[in-house]
Structure 1
Amino acid sequence: MTYPLGLSLAGRRVLVVGGGPVAARRLEALVAEQADVHVVSPDVEESIARLSHRGRLTWHRRRFHTTDVNGAWLVFAHTSDPETQDAVALEAESRSTFCVKGGDPDEASAHVPAVARFNGVTVGINASRDPKRAVAVAAEIRAALETGELPSEARREGGAATSHQPAGTVALVGGGPGDTGLLTVRGRFLLASADIVVADRLGPRKILDRLPETARVIEVGKRPGNHPVTQDEINQILVREARKGHRVVRLKGGDPFVLGRGGEETEYCARHDVPTEVVPGVTSAISVPAAAGIPVTHRGVAAGFTVVTGHQQIEALPQRDDHTIILLMGVAKLSQATEGIMGSGRSASTPVAIIERGWTEHQRTTFGRLSDIADQAKRVGVTSPAVIVVGEVVRLSPGYPDSTRRISPDVSVDLHG
């Protein structure tokens, strides 16, 4: 067992015996802490030599002497010579000075933890003297601090671009297609400090269970044909809560500016002098097809794609075989959309995929052709939310029903005709 302790080393003598890569790593932090660093080694890494030339440390170009420990508060032994390592540790022990002995933690009196630093917070990790495990845990903790899974400050204002949202503002956060893991780092960070979260029905719903206990969730979710909270009312909620001095996060599915009415919300806030921040999200137009193994572009298959809602603008879309069409909110008018696409010149045999509830445990993909996908969707009971992909890229899905691919068990396929 080791006793966790923070040391204030500024202005205090610290001895580092050795000049290799490990010593160089230790020196970065020691110099940053403004310790009075003395390095003893015949040869050193170039980075150590540069620090010496700049006066950031003192380099003694020779082998270790027992008198080097005089006055040292902390000693590091990082050489490749076992005898020198033992001599440094023994001398430090005799003078009641803590010593970090590289390569021999069982004989060391001090240990350097793996460190996670973010936004003024420093976390040191010791893992039963297993450095690889400690480094892995430190990386996880830093990620949690960066994303807001672990709060890095208590409502303190200011700082870098990663600081928390100012009070009295609105942040439009794109929540992605529904998987919490696809929420952006900035989005998760803002949610960790939110006072008010105005949430849609789609997006990463599970994240709501991880919000601070002080956060209040206002549900404004819409379903096809059922809008209990109108867009005008949502706009008013954002401004009203921000004017109370709250940090308001508008959590939306996908991306706020991709058919998400985010532009309307930012305009309304601007007219009422409420500052806003927009955090892009992973749009379902691209990510949901990816969940089914369908790239919206692919070299030699599709060089571009177009995203539209329902059956709108069908006549104006490129109808080449190398162009992918993505329909959002198109289930209700799928028959009209497919007829319009065929009427504009696309072959009736063009493959189509409908991906329902992408990135959730209930995801399902239905395959068909332009000529029969509407009937197939009705037969299997396709419902919203769903993303419809039209184009040759559909054949690239691992679940596409041809002679060279296996059909996944969660895939609904039209094998008729």
Structure 2
Amino acid sequence: MQTGEEKIRWAEQYMPVLREIRERFIREQPFEGIVIGMALHVEAKTAILARTLAAGGAEVHITGCNPLSTQDDVASALSGGTIHCYAKRACSLEEYYEAIDKVLDARPSITIDDGMDLIHRLHTGRRDILPGVLGGCEETTTGIHRLKSMAAEGKLRFPVIAVNDTPMKHFFDNVHGTGESALTAIMATTNILIAGKHIVVAGYGYCGRGLATKARALGARVIITEIDPRRALQAHFDGFEVMTIREASRIGELFVTTTGNIGVLKEAEFGLMRNGAILCNAGHFNVEIDIGYLETHADTISRRDGIDSYTFSDRTLHVLAEGRLVNLAVPKGMGHPIEVMDLSFAVQALSTEYMVRHGKNLIPGVHDVPTAIDEEIARLKLASLGCSIDSPTAEQEEYMASWDAGT
């Protein structure tokens, strides 16, 4: 069995972009004297990010952002030197927030979040630390939604870079990362055949689109449910069946929620599902499937290896990973592919550097990743792949910058 350190070393060899950034950080020490507080999924790729920041001079305090996504052997290997890790797998909610508080006890000046729990705790229970926070970065869609709500109400007290909303995150992490890792975790946990299955994907954002496309490539018959008419129309023109969640509930054999919203699958849908239907979630929080209803209304419940089976008088429904993030929370979940997280964590690393340098000049609120950072990461990845691209000529640049070139 691999140790945590062996997992980290395996991941590192497939993360050339972050490795190159780390080499520059070692030379320049952009985080000297900076304390960085992190709440992320603590597994091998995340360890590379934490070590990259520490190599740049940071004191890093890190915990998990989901009670079931930490890999304990990696967490153990990560602690040491200027990195302090408090994450533990299968922790209670009380333990989860105790670990969040341990990160905040270090009085970080920069936060890195996946889901916004660290920032939420800062603004609700640890406001004494707020004056010392320069800014933060947020990794995922759900966290960005929460942050924008805070900002709209005037309650967000420092600037946060929306790492999730940049093209390098959407195009690769959300589409390819979620698509591949969710299906891999489902197949490894259940051993079911994807080909020929009616798979219902709730939500056709970047994550849902990636999952639907890859499931179809494996031979699935994919059904999309949506509340946004434009995304529903896009799914239709992409060749997927589009229908309401109630209609899809009668047909689906495997359901995957990707909306980030609450109550997508609940009592009414459960009552329509066929015997043996499998339900799971690829959104950040465990709110998309109404687990509470299943827990209180099933005749019998059996639990094994990441599968909870709820048996009613006429059917049994199977839920993976307790309705939590399926690609990380099942026992065999490894999260997004390494090469994908090389890009996403490169965005995190450079955005953190940008916040250290420019945070004092940014107003409280949610800010986009600077385009120059996004493009730099793409160029670094292309170079690592041996790919070359063209540059515009002076004539082309002049043409694109002009407004008076008519027909």
TM-score in same-fold range (> 0.5): no
More helix by share: 2
TM-score (norm 2): 0.34
More strand by share: 1
